[in-house]
Amino acid sequence: MKKLFLIRHAKSSWDESSITDFERALNKRGKRDAPFMGALLKKEKVKPDIIISSPAKRAITTAEAFAEELDYPVKKIIIDNSIYESGIKGLETIVQSIPDDNKTVLLFGHNPTLTFYANHLGDKFITNIPTCGIVGIELNVKNWCEVERGKGKTYLFEYPKKYFQ
């Protein structure tokens, strides 16, 4: 049994028009939500074996906040450049190449691809993964290379607006 957590980056700032989309930082709400949601996973006893993140500033900053809450070494976060503008097939390639000794994986990325991929793998339809939203999928596979469409059971869907209004 493998567990994959698909996590959308926290809310980012659109205040600076001079920076690229790739360089956008978290805004005040994003800086609040990322540690909160990481702590929520810790409360659920999630212990990641590996954390993989898009290199975009807002994604890696979110991944770092989760890592700190989950007592995972920030230096061990794997940055995968292909996540940034990836489609379902790209995410599937990344997931299928995860070393099999990793049972619990956190993958930080972007919409709409994360929502599409959650629906591709899981058994519950999700309209949209909000910023800093988490979808937990159990995969009844021995090896990551076996992960494919419909192989997962969606058992967790959390997002900050459930807790903050």
pLDDT tens-digit profile of 141-151? 999 999 999 89
Tokens of 141: 């596979």
* 126 belongs to a structural domain: yes
Strand-pair category, 2-8 with 104-109:
parallel
Q: Is 143 a member of any domain?
A: yes
Q: What range defines the domain where residue 55 resides?
A: 2-100+110-162
Task: Report yes or no on 80 lying in a domain.
Answer: yes
Interval 69-113: pLDDT, tens = 999 999 999 999 999 989 999 999 999 999 999 999 999 999 999
Task: Give the three-class secondary structure for 85.
Answer: coil
Assess contact for 79 and 60: CB atoms under 8 A.
Answer: yes
**ω into residue 160 within 30 of 0, thus cis?**
no
Has residue 138 been placed in a domain?
A: yes
Tell me whether residue 105 is in a domain: no
Question: Which ranges of the chain does DSSP label H, i.e. alpha helix?
Answer: 28-43, 57-69, 88-96, 113-121
Q: Got the DSSP string for 9-28?
A: PPPB----TTS-GGGPPB-H
Count: domains in the chain: 1
CB 26 within 8 A of CB 58: yes
The pLDDT mean for the chain works out to 95
CATH code (residue 119)? 3.40.50.1240
Of the pLDDT bands very low, low, confident and very high (cuts 50, 70, 90), residue 13 is confident
Does residue 48 lie within any of the structural domains? Answer: yes
Report if residue 31 sits inside a domain: yes
Nearest-5° Cα angle at 116, 152 to 59: 100
- State mean pLDDT over 38-45: 97
Closest CA to 35 of 10, 17, 2, 72: 10
The answer to the question of residue 29 being in a domain is yes
Phi-psi region of 42 (alpha: psi -120 to 50; beta: other; left: phi over 0): alpha
